[in-house]
Homo-oligomer: A and B are copies of this chain.
Amino acid sequence: MADAALLEFFENQHPARNYLIVHTATEFTSVCPMTGQPDFATMIVRYVADKKCVELKSLKLYFQSYRSDGIFYEDITNRILDELVSGCSPHWMQVESRWTVRGGIHTVVYAEHGRPEWLPSGGLPSGVSAALGGGCCG
């Protein structure tokens, strides 16, 4: 069962600089709450840390803990954002989930916390999403 307690954080060694960190997890899977069938997604976390950074291995284990949970696309994206924000209080964070095709329809959900003014150059660098999200599986 999804467990936010799996998340670990470490101290941001460069808190004076607002820099951007992007983690793209291509092996996310959960279960459809309607049909019980497995769902598959690429889960992208982008953030500007304040005092804490997300520890990479704990993030992997946290994502794996969703493997048997039945939960909607829109809900899971917001829930991951809430739990990460709760754990590390970033200046800004965006969670993007890209789901594989169901019934000929491909879905993507973006949820965001904080003001984009915290981003370097005052905005999400052009090409961040495009470069990471390329390819046909979206």
Interface residues of A (CB under 8 A from B): 12-14, 17-27, 29, 37-38, 40, 49, 53, 56-57, 59-60, 64, 67, 72-75, 77-78, 94, 100-113, 116, 120-138
Contacts and interface: CB of A to CB of B under 8 A. Distances in A.
B40 A104 contact: yes
Contacts of A112: 17-19, 120-121
B27 A78 contact: no
A120 B94 CA distance: 9
Contact of A137 (B67, B109, B116, B137): B137
A121 B121 contact: no
B75 A14 contact: yes
Contact of A128 (B22, B59, B101, B129): B129
A22 B109 contact: yes
Contact of A129 (B14, B49, B111, B127): B127
A128 B110 CA distance: 10
Contacts of A126: 124-130
Contacts of A59: 105
A60 to B, nearest CB: 4
Given A21-B74, A134-B134, 8 more contacts: A14-B111, A19-B77, A19-B111, A21-B108, A56-B73, A116-B122, A121-B123, A130-B131
Given A77-B19, A78-B13, A137-B137, A26 B56 contact: no
